C-alpha cells in the first residue's frame, strides 16, 4: 500500500507521525511518501521539501509567499500522481492541502483523506461544501465535528487526538529536566509564542512585557521557552532582556522521542503557561498545566477575522470541555497589561481549569485506543468499503 501524506506545521507533523505508526502496525510493508516534519520522518518519511516552508499563518501573511506556495502545490500534486499513491492524506493546513487534493482529483481517482476537520462551526461554514468536492473522507479530532462533514457529503470519523494518549511526565522526568537546565526549585513559567516566524515576531515582544508585569514581584521565578527546531535562533533573539532569566529549550540535537519527552517534562514542571492559540493548549492540558492564551494577527487579517469568527472562544480546551476556564487575550485584547492580569487570575485559582483539562482529555480519548491507531483503522476501513 502506498500512502502519500502532506503536513504543513508541527501540530500536523504530530498527527501524521501517530497515524503513520498506526498504519505500519496494521500493514507492516506500507510505503510512505510526501511532506512532513521530524516526527513523520522518524516513521520513515523522506520529506520532499522542508515542512517549514508551509508554516504560514494568516490571510495577509501568505501573500509574500504566494507564488512559491503555488509552485509547491503543483509539485506536490504531481508527485502524488506520479507515485500512483493508493491514498492521499492531507493533514490540516487547508489552504495548501485542499489545493493539492483538488489537482489530484482533477487528474485521477486517487482517494483523498483530510485529517483535521475545518472549523466550520466557528467560521466560514461554506468551506465544508467546497471541501466535499475534493475530499472523500475526513478524520475529525473533536467529537462534535462529524455531523458537519457528513451533512456536506463527506465520510467522517471522530478519531480523537494523539495528545490524549501521550504519557504524563513523571516526577523523575520533571526533576531531570530541572537539573538539565539548572532550574533548581524555582517556580517555572512557560512562554510559548508560537511555532511560525511571523507569529513569534508579533507575539514575543508582547509576551515579554506581559511577563515583566506579572513577575514584577516574583524575582524567584524562571521563564522557560520550549522552541521548535527551526525557530530556536529566532526565539533566542527575542527573549534577550526578558525577565525570569529565560531558558530556551532547544530540541535540535535530540532524537524526536527525546525532544517530545523533554517538552512534556517542561510543561509538567511549570506552574503556569502563557501560550499562543493552537494545539499547544491541548499539550498543556495533557500535563495539567494551567494556561492563558494570547494571540494577535496582522491588522488586515484581524479586521477580516472579526467579521468571520462566530464563536466566543478559540481555545480547544474551552470548546471540548464546554467551559470557558482558559482566559483568552486575542486580537485587540492581546495587550501586556490584560495578559498579566489574566495570568494572575489563573495563578490565584487554577482548580476549575484543571477540571476542564481533565474533561477535555477524557473526551478526546484518554484511556482508550490510541488516536493514531484509530485514525489508521478508519482510513483502511473506509477504503475497503
How many residues are there in the chain?
A: 385
Q: How far apart are CA 162 and CA 114, in angstroms?
A: 16
Residue 140, strand partner residues:
158
User: Could you tell me which residue, 205 or 144, shows the higher pLDDT?
Assistant: 205
pLDDT for the residue numbered 270: 98
Instruction: Count CB neighbours of 236 within 10 A.
Output: 14
* All residues at 6 or more sequence positions from 381 whose CB lies less than 8 Å from its CB, including other chains: none
User: Could you tell me which residue, 65 or 2, shows the higher pLDDT?
Assistant: 2
Average pLDDT over residues 135-158: 94
Confidence of residue 308 (pLDDT cuts 50, 70, 90): low
pLDDT for the residue numbered 220: 95
pLDDT tens digits, 339-374: 999 999 999 999 999 999 999 999 998 999 999 999
Q: Is the pLDDT of residue 300 over 90?
A: no
Q: How far apart are CA 62 and CA 146, in angstroms?
A: 29
pLDDT for the residue numbered 59: 46
- Residue 292, classed as helix, strand or coil, is strand
The residue whose grid cell reads 492540558 is 285
Q: What is the 3-state secondary structure (H, E, C) of 33-83?
A: EEECCHHHHCCCCCCCCCHHHHCCCCCCCCHHHHHHHHHHHHHHHHHHHHH
Q: Is the pLDDT of residue 214 over 60?
A: yes
Confidence of residue 95 (pLDDT cuts 50, 70, 90): confident
Contact 63, 35 (CB under 8 A): no
Contact 238, 205 (CB under 8 A): yes
pLDDT for the residue numbered 57: 46
Q: Is the pLDDT of residue 161 over 90?
A: no
pLDDT tens digits, 32-60: 999 999 999 999 999 999 998 886 544 44
User: Could you tell me which residue, 115 or 316, shows the higher pLDDT?
Assistant: 115
Q: How far apart are CA 203 and CA 298, in angstroms?
A: 11
Q: How far apart are CA 52 and CA 101, in angstroms?
A: 20
Q: What secondary structure letter does DSSP report for 9?
A: S
Q: Is the pLDDT of residue 301 over 80?
A: no
Low-confidence winner among 5-14, 18-27, 265-274, 307-316 (lowest mean pLDDT) = 307-316
Low-confidence winner among 86-100, 110-124, 162-176, 293-307 (lowest mean pLDDT) = 293-307
Mean of pLDDT over the chain = 91
Helix axes 10-26 and 371-384, enclosed angle (nearest 10): 60
Give which of 121, 173, 169 is closest to 142, Cα–Cα: 121
Average pLDDT over residues 123-134: 82
| Distance in Å from the first CA to the final CA of the chain | 16
pLDDT for the residue numbered 196: 86
Residue 277 CA to its chain's centroid (Å): 9
Average pLDDT over residues 294-308: 64
Phi, psi of 47 (to 5 degrees): -65, 135
Average pLDDT over residues 313-334: 92
pLDDT for the residue numbered 124: 61
Contact 355, 285 (CB under 8 A): no
* All residues at 6 or more sequence positions from 369 whose CB lies less than 8 Å from its CB, including other chains: none
Contact 353, 290 (CB under 8 A): yes
pLDDT for the residue numbered 58: 44
- Most confident range, picked from 301-305, 315-319, 354-358: 354-358
Confidence of residue 11 (pLDDT cuts 50, 70, 90): confident
Amino acid at each position: 500500500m502506498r500512502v502519500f501524506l502532506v503536513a504543513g506545521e508541527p501540530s500536523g507533523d504530530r498527527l501524521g507521525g501517530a497515524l503513520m505508526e498506526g498504519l505500519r502496525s496494521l500493514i507492516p510493508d506500507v510505503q510512505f511518501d510526501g511532506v512532513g516534519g521530524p516526527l513523520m520522518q522518524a516513521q520513515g518519511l523522506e520529506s520532499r521539501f522542508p515542512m517549514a516552508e508551509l508554516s504560514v499563518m494568516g490571510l495577509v501573511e501568505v501573500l509574500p509567499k504566494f507564488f512559491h506556495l503555488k509552485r509547491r502545490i503543483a509539485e506536490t500534486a504531481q508527485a502524488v500522481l506520479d507515485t500512483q499513491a493508493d491514498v492521499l492524506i492531507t493533514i490540516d493546513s487547508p489552504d495548501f492541502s485542499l489545493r493539492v487534493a483538488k489537482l489530484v482529483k482533477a487528474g485521477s481517482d486517487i482517494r483523498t483523506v483530510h485529517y483535521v476537520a475545518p472549523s466550520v462551526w466557528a467560521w466560514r461554514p461554506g468551506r465544508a461544501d467546497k471541501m466535499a468536492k475534493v475530499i472523500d473522507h475526513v478524520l475529525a479530532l473533536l467529537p462534535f465535528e462529524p455531523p458537519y462533514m457528513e451533512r456536506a457529503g463527506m465520510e467522517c470519523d471522530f478519531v480523537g487526538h494523539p495528545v490524549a494518549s501521550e504519557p504524563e511526565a513523571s516526577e523523575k522526568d520533571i526533576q531531570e529536566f530541572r537539573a538539565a537546565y539548572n532550574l533548581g526549585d524555582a517556580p517555572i513559567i512557560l512562554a510559548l509564542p508560537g511555532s511560525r516566524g511571523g507569529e513569534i515576531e508579533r507575539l514575543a515582544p508582547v509576551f515579554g512585557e506581559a511577563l515583566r508585569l506579572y513577575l514584577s514581584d516574583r524575582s524567584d521565578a524562571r521563564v522557560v521557552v520550549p522552541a521548535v527546531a527551526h525557530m530556536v535562533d529566532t526565539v533566542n533573539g527575542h527573549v534577550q532582556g526578558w525577565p525570569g532569566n529565560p531558558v530556551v529549550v532547544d530540541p535540535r540535537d535530540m532524537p524526536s522521542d527525546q525532544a517530545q519527552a523533554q517538552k512534556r517534562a517542561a510543561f509538567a514542571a511549570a506552574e503556569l503557561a502563557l501560550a499562543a492559540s493552537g494545539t499547544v493548549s491541548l499539550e498543556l492540558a495533557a500535563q495539567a498545566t494551567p494556561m492563558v492564551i494570547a494571540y494577535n494577527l496582522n491588522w488586515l487579517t484581524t479586521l477580516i477575522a472579526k467579521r468571520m469568527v462566530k464563536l466566543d472562544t478559540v481555545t480547544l480546551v474551552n470548546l471540548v470541555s464546554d467551559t470557558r476556564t482558559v482566559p483568552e487575550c486575542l486580537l485587540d485584547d492581546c495587550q501586556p497589561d490584560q495578559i498579566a492580569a489574566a495570568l494572575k487570575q489563573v495563578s490565584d485559582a487554577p482548580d476549575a481549569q484543571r477540571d476542564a483539562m481533565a474533561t477535555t482529555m477524557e473526551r478526546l480519548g484518554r484511556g482508550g485506543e490510541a488516536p493514531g491507531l484509530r485514525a489508521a483503522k478508519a482510513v483502511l476501513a473506509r477504503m475497503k468499503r
